[in-house]
Amino acid sequence: MKVALLLPAEPSWQVGTGSSVPPLGLLYIAGVLNQAGHEVSITDQAGENLSDEKLKQKIKKLEPDILGLTTYSHSGQKAIELVQDIKETNPNLITIFGGYFATFNAKKILETTPAVDFCVRGEGEYTAVELVNALEKKRDLSEVAGITYRENNIVKSTPDRPLIKDLDALPIPDRNLIKGNTYGNYANLSIDFFTSIGTSRGCPYNCTFCLATQWSRNKWRRRDVHKIADEFEYLTHLGYENFLLVDDNFTANRKHVIRLCQELRHRNLDINWICEGRTTGGSLEMYNEMSHAGCRMIYLGLESGNQRILDYYNKHATINDAFLTVKKIRKAQIDFITGSFILGAPGETIQELQNTIDFSIKLDLDAPLFGILNVFKGTRLWDEYLAQGYIDPERHWGKALPVCNIHPDCAPRDIIIEIINRGYNKFLRRKKWFIKFLLRSLKSKFRLKMVIKNFNQRHELRKRFKFSDIVQHDLYMEDET
């Protein structure tokens, strides 16, 4: 069958700004569908800089039998609007939703949106193959695990599909499917041309605000380090030098990280890569190995400068862990450290909000990312607020909800935004920080190139380091209704 895979842009995205990260999930799904003999294309609306109208024209021109969309919790409503418009001109088109939004809202989507025919829940690779094969050969859909669908106008769900045990059995994604697309932004910063790669899936932790916990069922799985290194090597032959590791928690297993880094060093690969990590479990040895293997930037989930709030999020981390981790990373000479912070938990006082800003400044970070606590269906916080009556399942389903909009014990939204924007200004306008940032950049080729690239885009950069960054703006747009 002819299958078109689509990643819709965020609601507030503007034509010409490109996309942040290549759609690795769609590339994996395309790989298994191609192996099964189907004809597959990928459209990344933001990566291709397509307006909604041009996107619809492209899909119409492709004339696919099936349209599959990746949907995120903060852009699910945009995906619904798009697929409704697309299906008006092609009523025979079979439409499939996948991703977080589809997984945790499957039944409601099919009950309210006739334009969506199927929802794939959880990891989509093998489910997609079985579903497309079943549609092609008109087999019994009830035998396809992990889908929600209609039968005689009744919404039905098959049992969940088990998590993929052998990640190495998946084909290496074909990046030619997105060749020519515009990518290069991460953590509010512009990065040289890069591609994405995964070395593991899932996270063994259970943070209350995180969707990855339920998505991966609290399990962490890794790829074989030799297979990962093979993919890195293959991609360098294609001309890639910079890589974003999209693991939910790259540093979840210290031994795995060390083995992988040693294998990358053994291959003598001249690469730069970025990863995400926690403030627990990492040793100086691990960070040294990462640095020697090409890790140039690490993004830490720091969340709060208040131990009480960290405990509320079930982080299983301490304030001291953050200081020790940043110190180890600096000692290992990893070029760039950025950290994310979440403000606006129920009961969090104005002083505690300010504590988090001050905490970000005391840490030896290169850049912060501040955001307001949001709650999604699929997280423990959603279940908690639903039980307490703060969430209306009929009105709020499928939305990313800022907690300060629904919980009476939160600081007012405008106060949180004011503290965040003052925090950005305070952090980024310090002379001590600027001098240290500049000196470190002069010692690092990767940092220097990034500084020059971002300096040339400094007017856009000023907009990014405000509360109205794209993701947060989309979250609030979703809540307007």
What digits encode the pLDDT tens for the residues 265-313? 999 999 999 999 999 989 999 999 999 999 999 999 999 999 999 999 9
| Structure-token pair, residue 372 | 């307001």
Helix-then-strand count for the chain, H and E = 20, 19
Q: Per-residue pLDDT for 186 more than 50?
A: yes
What is the β-pairing status of strands 118-120 and 147-151? antiparallel
| pLDDT tens digits for range 377-423 | 999 999 999 999 999 999 998 888 899 999 999 999 999 999 999 99
Question: How high is the pLDDT of residue 470?
Answer: 36
Answer whether 7's CB lies under 8 Å from 26's CB. yes
**DSSP code string of 250-311:** GGG-HHHHHHHHHHHHHTT---EEEEEE-SSS--HHHHHHHHHTTEEEEEEEEE-S-HHHHH
Can you tell me the mean pLDDT for 338-362? 97
Can you tell me the mean pLDDT for 248-260? 95
Can you tell me the mean pLDDT for 72-90? 89
Which ranges constitute the DSSP H helices of 332-444? 350-362, 380-387, 393-396, 403-406, 413-428, 431-442
Question: How high is the pLDDT of residue 435?
Answer: 93
| Structure-token pair, residue 395 | 């009105």
Range 310-318, long-range pairs (CB < 8 A, 24+ positions): 312/208, 312/345, 312/346, 312/347, 313/207, 313/208, 313/209, 313/342, 313/345, 314/205, 314/206, 314/207, 314/208, 314/380, 315/205, 315/207, 316/205, 316/280, 317/278, 317/279, 317/280
CA nearest 477: which of 18, 99, 78? 78
Question: How high is the pLDDT of residue 19?
Answer: 63
| pLDDT tens digits for range 19-39 | 678 899 999 999 999 999 999
Rounded to the nearest angstrom, the gap between the alpha carbon of residue 319 and the centroid of all alpha carbons in its chain is 25
Question: How high is the pLDDT of residue 473?
Answer: 41
Rounded to whole angstroms, what are the CA distances from 414 to 13, 369, 400, 406, 420? 23, 18, 18, 14, 10
| Structure-token pair, residue 42 | 């990928």
Quickly state the pLDDT bin for 108 (edges 50, 70, 90): very high
Q: What is the DSSP letter of 37?
A: T
Q: Per-residue pLDDT for 190 more than 80?
A: no
| Structure-token pair, residue 467 | 């509360």
Q: How far apart are CA 431 and CA 172, in angstroms?
A: 46
Q: Per-residue pLDDT for 469 more than 90?
A: no
| Structure-token pair, residue 17 | 């700004």
Q: Per-residue pLDDT for 451 more than 80?
A: no
Q: How far apart are CA 61 and CA 39, in angstroms?
A: 15
**Average pLDDT of the chain, as a whole number:** 90
- Dihedral sign of CA atoms 260, 261, 262, 265 in order: positive
Q: Characterize 55-87 residue by residue with b for buried, 16 or more Cβ atoms within 10 angstroms of its Cβ, and e for exposed.
A: bbebbeeeebbbbbbbbbbbbbbbbbebbeebb
Can you tell me the mean pLDDT for 228-241? 94
**DSSP code string of 174-187:** -GGGGTT--B-EET
Tally of CB atoms within 10 A around 458? 8
Percent of the chain past pLDDT 70, that is, above it, reads 91
| pLDDT tens digits for range 120-178 | 999 999 999 999 999 999 999 999 999 999 999 999 999 999 999 999 999 999 999 98
| Structure-token pair, residue 387 | 């039980």
Q: How far apart are CA 112 and CA 424, in angstroms?
A: 41
| Structure-token pair, residue 116 | 């969506």
Q: Per-residue pLDDT for 471 more than 50?
A: no
Domains of the chain: 2-157 (3.40.50.280), 184-478 (3.80.30.20)
Quickly state the pLDDT bin for 181 (edges 50, 70, 90): confident
Tally of CB atoms within 10 A around 226? 13
Query: What residues contact 432, with CB distance under 8 A and at least 6 apart?
Result: none
| pLDDT tens digits for range 296-306 | 999 999 999 99
- Dihedral sign of CA atoms 207, 356, 299, 474 in order: positive
| pLDDT tens digits for range 192-221 | 678 999 999 999 899 999 988 889 888 999
Q: What is the DSSP letter of 141?
A: G
Can you tell me the mean pLDDT for 180-193? 69
Local structure of 333: helix, strand or coil: coil
